[in-house]
Amino acid sequence: MKKSLFIFFGITLILTSFIILTCQDNVPVAESTETGWAFPYFEKVDSLNPILQPAKELIFQDPISKELVHWEERNVLNPTAVVRNDSVFLLYRAQDINGTSRIGMAVSIDGLRFNKLPEPVFYPDNDSMLEREWNYKKLEGEKANSETCYFCYFDGVEDPRIVESPDGNYIMTYTSYDGKTARLSLASSPDLRNWDKHGLILKDSIHENTWSKAGAIVAELIDDRLVAKKIDGKYWMYYGDTSIFMATSEDLINWEPAVNEESGNRIAVLNPRMGKFDSRLVEPGPYALYKEEGILLIYNGSNAANFNDPKLPKFTYAAGQALFDKSRPFELKDRSESFFIYPD
């Protein structure tokens, strides 16, 4: 008998995957040497894939352009899942034909079959984040036209990751994109549908225009809630999509990057490895899970063009696992030797 322990969602334009962690003994983590701390087995449920596809008929009146847009016509991808009141809420990135990203919601009672809300729950708006989330060319009056330039008008809000705060609110890290620079940002909500934007996570003048993505807050499983965990009086976040860096906060809203006091450079706690699946880059996946053995971080790795893992095509994205010290979240204790899932 299989016992489901963990659900991992991956939705992309090219590959859509739904994976359930099971207690089988016949699907090991590839070439892994970890004992005890890592999630041991993942199995794709191909009978259900894809669990979500673009619905071209869904229409939304954009508050900035005032136009009716087919807001998930191009694709759906990069979701986060939250369990609330015995239902699974899937918040996912969706792109319209011109590449504007908004965040939609789909709901399931079994974690397998989802019903979408007809409109996005989070999107670029006429607010304080407009210049960070609306393409600079459109702000200058240029009309978006993906037929003349496929990538030129990409913008919006991307790649949500959600944990709960101790007081029961939801904290979402996401990427704001203006067509030039991706910036890690933050929002909060009492109910997953109504959101307040709190601006950039890297707000200081040195880092506010630094390319930044993928904020994974350290969280602890308490009953059926994933609650942000304070360690040594601070909340901790892993972020980045080249190396993985860290930031800390006292209130989950205002964050400071961890920097080297001597050089002023951001401190990288996980780096690419030559000859392995993560030779090109590393990037946090969902929240980082605080557990007895340490802090478990699932991360994306990309295979470099050379000096890479010969078992994978170059630039392939595959996922690995890393374990950090639970009292010193910046200290790497262990790391998977190879990937546990990849496109096939």
Cβ-based neighbour number of residue 22 at 10 Å: 18
The model carries a pTM of 0.88
**For residue 8, what pLDDT band results from cuts at 50, 70 and 90?**
very low
Q: Are 59 and 68 in contact (CB under 8 A)?
A: yes
Q: With beta carbons less than 8 A apart as the criterion, state whether 81 and 89 touch.
A: yes
Residue 26: predicted pLDDT: 35
Taking the C-alpha atoms of residue 234 and residue 272, their distance in angstroms, rounded to an integer, is 27
> How is residue 225 written in tokens?
């809630």
Reply yes or no on whether the pLDDT at 17 is more than 70. no
Whole-number pLDDT of residue 224: 84
Binning pLDDT at 50, 70 and 90, where does residue 35 land? Answer: low
Average pLDDT, the chain: 88
Residues 6+ apart with CB under 8 A from 137: 144, 152, 153, 179
Is it the case that residue 14 has pLDDT exceeding 50? no
What are the structural domains, with CATH classification, of the chain? 54-141+150-200 (2.115.10.20)
Query: Which SS3 state, helix, strand or coil, does residue 137 take?
Result: helix
184 contact partners, CB below 8 Å, separation of at least 6: 173, 174, 175, 176, 200, 201, 202, 212, 213, 214, 215, 239
- Return the number of other C-beta atoms located less than 10 Å from residue 330's C-beta: 16
For residue 279, what are its two tokens?
């030779």
